Amino acid sequence: MSKEMTNNSAQRLKVYYIGNELIEEDSIHIRVCEKLKGLLNDVEFIRLNDPLELLEIKTFPIVLVDSALGIKKTMVVDSPQTLLDESIISAHFLNLAFCIKLCATMNKDFKFKAICVPANINLEDAVNEVHVKLEDIKRER
């Protein structure tokens, strides 16, 4: 992937991620975001320490990147109920899903898009797949 792949828009897309690099199945998305930070000038990657920090974000849709067990390809989820589906659960998806559901309950305008990365994917494939999903999300804005 090269810098030519970036889209120079005036408004940078904010992408949030949370995880634990010490837990292998909960860290691939952290490495993906760190790698894409240097490649995508029109995307601002913001690491959250706690899913409850989502309550403070007021620009929608919130774009998240997270790792997930039980999926083979990177996918975009925009429903809290889908995050609760046991077939795509990660080490902290239950907490993340709870916080997303809480946000949706507290704010009728709340919307999100979670880019779910397979926990066992190799880094290069993950970077490419997340990049494609981010480009799709940017086109939808």
pLDDT tens digit sequence for 36-95: 998 999 999 999 988 888 889 989 999 999 888 888 899 999 987 776 654 444 545 556
Does the pLDDT of residue 133 top 70, yes or no? yes
pLDDT of residue 80: 76
Does the pLDDT of residue 35 top 80, yes or no? yes
- Secondary structure of residue 133 in the 3-state scheme: helix
The CATH code of domain 12-140 reads 3.40.50.1450
N-term to C-term CA, the chain? 23
Q: Is the dihedral of CA 112, 102, 90, 29 positive or negative?
A: positive
- Which residues touch 47 (CB under 8 Å, ≥6 apart)? 16, 17, 18, 30, 33
pLDDT of residue 84: 60
Confidence at 25, pLDDT banded by 50, 70, 90 = confident
Give me the numbers of helices (H) and strands (E) for the chain, helices first please.
Answer: 4, 5
Other C-beta atoms closer than 10 Å to the C-beta of 19 total 23
**CA–CA gap between residue 112 and residue 133 (Å, rounded):** 14
